[in-house]
Amino acid sequence: GNQKATHLENSQGKKSQHTEEAIFYMNCRAAYLTVLKSSLENIKSKEQLSLVLQQAGRNPSQKTINKYWTSQTTSLNFDDFCAILKKEKPATKNELLEAFGKIDTDKAGYISHDVLCTILTTRGDKMTWEEVTSITKQADFNCNGKLDYNKFCELYLTTSEQCCRAARDRLEIDPRLKQQHFGNQTENFPEGITLPVSKPSPRVSKKTDHKLAKGDSRAPSRPSSAQSSKASTSTTVTVGASSSRNTKLIIEPDTMKEWQCAQSRGCFYLEENGEIISHKYKLHLPQRSALCITIKPFSIPQVEGKSCHWLSVDTALFILKENETQEHLQFVSFTELQNKEVFGWRGELGSGVYWLLPFTTGCRLRKEKTQVTGEAKLVWRDEDGELALTREFRAALLDIFETIDLDGNGLLSLEEYNFFELRTSGEKCDQEAWAVCKENFEMKKNELTSQGFLDLNLMEANDRDGDPWDLWVTLLSLGYNRALEMTEACPFVIDICAERCKPRLKAVSLEAGGSQLSRAVCRSVVQKGEAKVLDGSENIFIYTYRSGSRITSVIEIKSENKVIIHVNNEQSKNCLNNRGLTVFAVEVAPKSMMVSQHVMALNEQEEWIYSCVHSLV
């Protein structure tokens, strides 16, 4: 009886989770399409972002907008918008009342218009006097020169919900938008679950003769949206415990003793919006040669007791050939061999210039869910009142120095230091400023020493009289949390060995992979992976490829029409993907390819099963 009750509770919990996901995506889409014509269209300005967030029932401050729209941002897509909504929860009534309660110290339930006007026009996102007056004139929550903030909160929340409902209603009524609808329709949910939509759509057929991949006899545990779609295909891959890290990269050290090598460090950094940026490299080969190229997480010394989160992050390198006659770089290959944390490629390349684009799936390098309690101390004052760096902060700075010292010579060149500056401040240090550094901080051969780097940070603390705000800006931008743990970055090291020439490897930029990397990832999966045609739709292909410890699926559309593909991972076990969702949908442009998802084992010490259904909505 207890087992049955537990099973029922688990089943109901799963139903509730999937319902919440579907409702979330429906609300995202409804809000997005209120402002933009299609979810393929990008948000192109701060104003658009603010407007779309408002349509989703949020009331973003300028600080919130600036967090997601930085000086480097040119556009945000639908996936970015969904990720923002997950982080920016709508305000609850208790939170609003608590905020007003801090002003209403007498707990009378009212705030005078004079006090309200002073606060709203002088603090935070300052409002104009006219804007405040438009609030105080509302009869619903104003009386005798006072604002009844209980009534105001109720009206605010009601208006917010009405805004969301209006967006959903518009999505349901408009046939053009309805064709783009994400996820499940009302009647396809398990019994007893209803979505808050105006009308159920009768257009989805009740197709249930769903085919599972060969060798997988398990039936779906509940009626899923994939079973009601017009066309679908499923793929199942079972991976044994730890086998994902045992694809041997066979390189006998004796055979490479005479080979010439080049090395460079680099780092993946996680942006506020979830995007991953990294160093990009150019490889110069003076003549044709056999090569061995590897990439792995860079193990830097850590303070005792602190874990190295990034060592479990997957890494890869995509090799592209520079060709003057072609607009795009030519995809050559990628590091598909794996030995533990090392990913590598062996082969022969002709003379010329190649681009090496580092890549990680984002399955393990992702935003922290747990909040750090407390904050590490960065500086302290000695007996004479002089500022000094704490032991923990010094250790973190030395780790940072190791990471940004790209050539590993123990010194920072101006070029290496400028990658650090671009990441932390968005600006570069010119030759004149570097000369000033040389006068004030320890250098060798015109390169900054680790002691000079520590002193430079101490000077920054002194400039603000011990206020660590600027120091925290630096640390957070480099992937550290408030406990001085590197949780949102992954340093790596690249090694190139050539048999017949001296390879030259140079970091040339620090930015997101962009379309070149996306195209290379898709091409690698299409070339190496298993292709399946969506049942009943000859123009839609799903490619699945396992490379070492990850599985990647790519969707290719060969028709002139954009499509929405529903992706269902409910039957997978011990898996995590880069999207952070079990069930989701993607919109794919006509005659294009895009990554559906990257999947890895949640626990590599146990067997994991990738079982995914792609279906046409």
Q: If you write DSSP's letter for every residue of 142-186 in order, what string do you get?
A: EETTEEEHHHHHHHHHHHHHHHHHHHHHHHHH-HHHHTT--S--G
SS3 at position 284: strand
pLDDT at 217: 31
Percent of the chain as helix, strand, coil, to the nearest 5: 35, 25, 40
Q: Does domain 259-367+493-515 have CATH number 1.10.510.10?
A: no
Q: Give the model's pLDDT for residue 301.
A: 63
**Whole-angstrom Cα distance, residue 63 to residue 49?**
13
**Best CA proximity match to 571, nearest among 608, 605, 601:** 608
pLDDT at position 121, please? 80
Spell out the domain ranges in the chain.
Answer: 1-90, 93-170, 232-245+529-616, 259-367+493-515, 379-486
DSSP 3-state of 508: strand
CA-based Rg of the chain, rounded to a whole angstrom?
Answer: 28
Q: In terms of Cα–Cα distance, which of 258, 257, 263 is closest to 283? A: 263
Q: How many CA atoms lie within 13 A of 261 on its CB side?
A: 14
Considering only CA atoms, which of 363, 374, 452 is closest in space to residue 412? 452
Q: Is residue 233 within 8 Å of 227, Cβ to Cβ?
A: no
pLDDT of amino acid 190: 30
Residues 587 and 589: their CA atoms lie apart, in Å, by 7
Structure tokens at 414: 């101006």
- Written as one letter, the residue type at 321 is K
What values do phi and psi take at 13, rounded to 5? -65, -40
Q: Quote the CA–CA distance of 235 and 543 in Å, as a whole number.
A: 10
Alpha helices in 1-112, H assignment, sequence order: 2-35, 46-55, 62-68, 78-87, 93-103
What's the confidence (pLDDT) of residue 323?
A: 80
Residue length of the chain: 617
User: Token digits for 445?
Assistant: 């051969």
Strands 110-112 and 447-448, sheet pairing: unpaired
The dihedral sign for the CA sequence 66, 71, 74, 76: negative
* 253 DSSP 8-state letter: G
- Residue 172 pLDDT: 66
- Rounded Cα gap, residues 158 and 1, in angstroms: 43
In sign, the C-alpha dihedral spanning 289, 290, 295, 299 is: negative
Which of 580, 584, 587 lies closest to 26 in space, CA to CA? Answer: 584
**Ranges under pLDDT 50 in the chain:** 4, 175-176, 178-229, 244, 251-253, 303
Type of residue at 477: S
Residue entry with tokens 């939509």: 197
In angstroms, rounded to a whole number, what is the distance separating the alpha carbons of residues 191 and 163? 29
The 8-class DSSP code of residue 254 comes to G
Checking DSSP bridges between strand 330-334 and strand 530-533, what pairing results, if any?
unpaired
Q: What does residue 125 show for φ and ψ, rounded to 5 degrees?
A: -75, 95
- Do 526 and 543 meet the contact criterion of CB atoms below 8 Å apart? yes
Q: pTM higher than 0.85 for the full model? A: no
Q: Which CATH class is domain 232-245+529-616?
A: mainly beta
Those residues whose C-beta lies under 8 Å from the C-beta of residue 392, and which sit 6 or more positions away, are 303, 376, 377, 484
CATH topology of domain 1-90: Recoverin; domain 1 (1.10.238)
259-367+493-515 against 379-486: fold identical = no
Residues 6 or more apart from 616 whose CB is under 8 A from it? 229, 230, 231, 232, 534, 536, 537, 540, 563, 564, 565, 566
Identify the pLDDT of residue 216. 34
Residues 6+ apart with CB under 8 A from 94: none
- Domain at 379-486, CATH class: mainly alpha
Q: Which residues 6+ apart lie within 8 Å of 512 measured at CB?
A: 271, 275, 276, 277
- Alpha-carbon dihedral angle through residues 33, 37, 41, 43, given to the nearest 10 degrees: -60
For residue 150, report the phi and psi dihedrals to the nearest 5 degrees.
Answer: -65, -45
Residue 229 to residue 567: CA distance in whole angstroms: 11
| CA nearest to 586, candidates 536, 210, 577 | 577
> Which residues neighbour 194 within 8 Å (Cβ) at sequence distance 6 or greater?
186
* All residues at 6 or more sequence positions from 489 whose CB lies less than 8 Å from its CB, including other chains: 267, 268, 269, 270, 310, 365, 403, 478, 479, 480
Domain 93-170 maps to which CATH number in 1.10.150.110, 3.40.630.40, 1.10.238.10, 3.90.920.20?
1.10.238.10
Give the C-alpha separation, 199 to 595, whole Å: 33
Distance CA 521, CA 531 (A): 15
Complete DSSP assignment for 524-553: HHHHHSEEEEPTT-TTEEEEEEEETTEEEE
Contact 491, 399 (CB under 8 A): no
